[in-house]
Structure 1
Amino acid sequence: MRYLFRPPGTDGARLLALPWQLPLEEWPPELLLEVPQRGISRHVVRFVAEQGRVFALKEISEHLARHEYALLAEFEAEGLPSVSVLGVCVDRPHGQDAILVTRYLEYSMSYRYLFSRPSARQSVDQLMDTLVVLLVRLHLAGVFWGDCSLSNTLFRLDAGALAAHLVDAETAERHPQLSRGQRHYDLDLARERVGAELLDLQFGGLLPDGVDPIEVADSLQGRYASLWDEVTHEEVFRTDEQRYRVAERLQRLNDLGFDVGEIELVTDDEGARLRVETRVSAPGQHRRELMRLTGLEVQENQARRLLNDLRSFRAYLEQKEGRPVSEPVAGARWLAEVYQPVIESIPAELAGRLAPAEVFHEVLEHRWFLSEKAGRDVGTTAAARSYLRNVLPSTPEELTTPSVIATRP
């Protein structure tokens, strides 16, 4: 029996004492963690928690396990939105299948969990758009998924929006570039699987009234075609328009959540032709900026929102002190005087309900709501106090909440 894990570090070593020689179905219940409302899987999947970290274990054939292990490692290295692979256990006794180990995506939710929440704010349209963004990212990277579905996707809140991450890559194929036929076949497979999953939700009474599962699944094609055209089409315009038209196109791509690589601009007597290489990695402009100024590592939309608050705070400081305040100084003071006090005020019993940056984003939303109601700016401190008392307690405990992990069956 062999257990390979990457990178060679503490996470892999923590799991060495698990009973790898036994079929997953026979593992002692006290070792396992129950995950509510997880997606449907064709294979035996179990979850374990070690020292506050959660890991997903899937039992599949060795060939598929090695294939998925290699692909997920590639995806992670390239910044594609997928779960992080940790290891694979092969050559198990009595000809048993291999076990693939991935790190559970913190603060993530399955589609079933999203629909089962009484206070769910994510619409079916938002879920479909998020899934399409993930599929387009993969296709731009030359990845044929082959099993695109809601069950094989995890969703995370990112400043109120959703971000999708691939979970299952056992059927995925990597190519230098996908043909139009490959992309559309992958999309057809996605439409079939999503339609079946939404019908299952409807039969379970979880789908909102008035939502037609087949109609929603069929809408994937139009959503995909629109997004694919936006991120890949070649734009033609007059030469005297090129400066603002290039900036406009790049801003649209950034707003859609895509980074831009190489830009090719060809001019001739007829005008200018713009070709943009759209990067497939997770966008990072705002994340990198926030990291540079504060050291915080968050998701892209969260970073954009936090940066806006930081800039507003910087303007306030300059007005109050009557002198310019540099970005690094404003970043350090915002972190110490605005962000950290909010995060540190979260009661212990509520910690982990949402990612800290998501909590701060929601506090800003709550501040806007309270200020509109009061007709004046109520301030972040008062908004945080109200949010922590009246809003956050209604947010369900997520899998990564320490208290949930500590009380696993």
Structure 2
Amino acid sequence: MSGSLSITSAMADPALLDLPWELPLEAWPNDTIAALPKGISRHLVRFAHLGAHIVAIKETTAEMAKGEYEMLRTLQRLDIPCVDPVAVITNRTDDEGDALKPVLVTRHLRFSLPYRALFSQTLRPDTATRLVDALAVLLVRLHIVGFFWGDVSLSNTLFRRDAGAFAAYLVDAETGKLYEGGLSNGQRENDLEIARVNIAGELLDLEAGGKVADELDPVNISNGIVEAYRSLWLELTGSESFSSAERWRINERVNRLNELGFDIEELAIKTDDSGTTVRIQPKVVDAGHHQRRLLRLTGLDAGENQARRLLNDLDSYRAAYGKTELDEEMVAHEWLMRVFEPVVRAIPRELRGKLEPAEVFHQLLDHRWFLAQQVGHDIPLAEAVSSYVNSVLRHRRDEATVIGPPTGAFTSPIETIPSTDTAAFAALDPDEDDDWRANV
């Protein structure tokens, strides 16, 4: 390094000093650069190895880098899905003393991909719709906390697989602004229109390059974010009136929001002067209802849809073995040790960077169900794992980006052990019938 390099970071990672900040980003050596798919950006962005992690480095101005760094930290405190800000590097100079552009460093989100990397050949309408729906959920969550994005697009978002759907994470926050008093309807509609236009442009660009299926209509797909957003926004924030004799509808509204994956922090309930009409309205809504329950019961950190699927499996386990009257946390620990962990351990080491453990478990349940439908009877869990590994998982590309030993690329609350496809199932009781999972 040359010159008086300035590093602003909330993380004390000495490895930052080892990166070649004295070189323009475009000239960084190949042994430093990580070859990962990236989205479209107005700035030069490159991925680099930083210790056991991979970081994204974006050249920009000092003011914009510092502003985005602080905004991302604020969004994290608000529990908004976004990339993790690592550092702002300023006062960069080359060996000749000439100034180089400041950079923003963010940690790459494991198992996430830009939208252009989520399809192998052509983008199908159902995949495009799921991407847009995920972006709509993210936009609603941002608007609830008072964040105006200003540049909503698929390109400014990373996506992670989430039990058949996608979870969207904000990547680029340089145009965003947080309003403590919340957003006006006009601001929300402005963001929504930006999203609609940008998505249409991105899909039309793919269409021009022959990268979308013939039946995909870019305009219809982009219009879908408007409908998805407004439907979710109304469900989360809209008021509802009913007769005082229908007080059960209060619990119904709460349960409906929980099913969507949201918790109510405060519920405003008012009655009219006669006391015959009740009006309710959620005041603050937090996402991650199923994530929090799964984490509390098992210690597993999963996506919202993944958590819902795992909890359904746990609830089925409790019902099938007559454990509904037992302590929920005790049964959850038993399910973790006897069902989830053996499945995770049964994945061969060389395949553990393919998908997250929760996503593997979700896909395994689907695969087992399809096998049972084909042969007309239940399939043992070990046999389903072996079939899934060899016919499905082995043919997927890796979506993990952590660099390290093979076991380090697989996030799990348990210790990873060597195994064949079925050896790990020694932990299961061989005398115990697992027919309870037939309809999962």
Which residue pairs with 1:203 in the alignment? Answer: 208
Deviation at 1:115, TM superposition (A): 3.0
After TM superposition, the structure 1 stretch with the greater mean CA deviation from structure 2, 177-186 or 64-73, is 177-186
Whole-angstrom distance in 2 between the partners of 1:122 and 1:86: 35
After the TM superposition, which residues 93-132 of structure 1 pair with which residues of structure 2 at under 5 Å, given as runs?
Answer: 93=93, 94-116=98-120, 123-132=127-136
How far is the alpha carbon of 1:401 from its aligned partner? 6.2
How many angstroms apart in 1 are the aligned matches of 2:176 and 2:161?
Answer: 25
CA distance in 2, matches of 1:353, 1:20: 32
What displacement does 1:122 show?
5.0
Q: Give 2:236's aligned amino acid.
A: V
Give unmatched runs, 5+ long, in structure 1: none
Q: Tell whether the 8 Å contact from 2:115 to 2:158 is kept in structure 1 after alignment.
A: yes
How far apart, CA to CA, are the structure 2 residues paired with 1:212 and 1:119? 11
Aligned residues of 1:397 and 1:404 also touching (Cα < 8 A): no
Aligned partner of residue 259 in structure 1, secondary structure:
strand
In structure 2, relative to structure 1, the CA distance for the partners of 1:192 and 1:274 (3 Å cut) is: same
Scaled by the length of structure 2, the TM-score of the pair is 0.84
Partner residue of 1:89?
A: 89
Ranges of 4+ aligned residues in structure 1 off by more than 6 Å: 118-121
The residue type equivalent to 1:215 in the other structure is N
Relative to structure 1, the CA distance from residue 325 to residue 252 in structure 2 (aligned partners, 3 Å threshold; closer, same or farther) is closer
The whole-number CA distance in structure 2 between the counterparts of 1:404 and 1:4 is 30
Deviates more, 1:63-72 or 1:380-389: 380-389
How many Å separate the matches in 2 of 1:251 and 1:110? 33
8 Å Cα contact 1:62-1:90 kept in structure 2: yes
State the SS of the aligned residue for 2:22.
Answer: coil
1:273 aligns with 2:279: yes
Q: 1:171 is aligned with what amino acid? A: T
Confirm whether residue 350 of structure 1 aligns to residue 343 of structure 2.
no
In 2 relative to 1, CA 355–43 (structure 1 residues): closer, same or farther, beyond 3 Å?
same
- CA shift, 1:164, in A, is 0.5
Contact 2:54–2:403 at 8 Å: present in 1 too? no
SS of equivalent to 2:262: coil
Q: How does 1:240-259 map to 2 (within 5 A)?
A: 240-242=245-247, 244-259=248-263
C-alpha displacement at 1:230, in angstroms?
2.0
**How many Å separate the matches in 2 of 1:306 and 1:153?**
26
Counterpart code for 2:103: I
Greater helix fraction, Structure 1 or Structure 2: 1
Partner of residue 311, structure 1: 315
Single out whichever of 394-403 and 152-161 deviates more from structure 2: 394-403
Q: Which moved more, 1:212-221 or 1:104-113?
A: 212-221
SS in 2 for 1:16: helix
Alpha-carbon contact 1:68-1:170 (below 8 Å) kept: yes
Q: Is the 8 A contact 1:317 1:325 kept in 2?
A: no
Counterpart residue type for residue 200 of structure 1: D
How much has 1:121 moved relative to structure 2? 9.3
> Does the alignment pair 1:233 with 2:238?
yes
Kept in 2, the 8 Å contact 1:231–1:253? The answer is yes
What is the alpha-carbon distance in structure 2 between the residues aligned to residue 106 and residue 135 of structure 1? 21
User: Structure 2: how far apart are the matches of 1:119 and 1:219?
Assistant: 16
- Contact 1:143–1:178 under 8 Å retained in 2: yes
User: Which residue number in structure 2 is paired with residue 286 of structure 1?
Assistant: 290
- RMSD over aligned CA atoms reads 2.3
1:363·1:380 contact (CA, 8 Å) conserved in 2?
A: no
How far 1:84 sits from its partner (Å)?
Answer: 1.0
Match of 1:183 among 181, 188, 202: 188
- Post-superposition Cα deviations, 1:201-251, rounded to whole Å, max 9, x if no partner, equal 111211121222233223333332222222221100010112x21122122
Q: Deviations over 1:83-121 (max 9, x none)?
A: 111111112233432111111111111110113357979
SS at 2:167 equivalent: strand
Q: How far 1:82 sits from its partner (Å)? A: 0.8
Equivalent residue, structure 1, for 2:27: 26
Unaligned runs of 5+ in 2: 407-440
* 1:170 aligned counterpart, secondary structure: coil
TM-score, normalised via structure 1 length: 0.90
Q: What amino acid does structure 2 have at the position aligned with 1:208? A: A
* Mapped partners of 2:161, 2:200: distance in 1: 23
Name the CA shift for 1:293/1:255 in 2 (closer, same or farther; >3 Å). Answer: closer
Q: 1:292, CA displacement in angstroms?
A: 2.6
* Structure 1: distance between partners of 2:36 and 2:170: 18
> 1:157, 1:163 within 8 Å by CA — same for their partners in 2?
yes
**Cα drift, residue 403 of structure 1:** 8.1
Q: 1:119–1:391: structure 2 CA closer, same or farther, 3 Å change rule?
A: farther
Q: In structure 1, what is the equivalent of residue 45 of structure 2?
A: 45
Change in Cα spacing, 1:60 to 1:404, as seen in structure 2 (3 Å) is: farther
Using a 3 Å threshold, how does the CA distance of structure 1 residues 393 and 128 change in structure 2: closer, same or farther?
A: same
In 2 relative to 1, CA 225–310 (structure 1 residues): closer, same or farther, beyond 3 Å? closer
1:187 counterpart letter in structure 2: L
181-190 or 346-355, larger mean C-alpha shift: 181-190
- Code of the residue aligned with 1:70 in structure 2: it is E
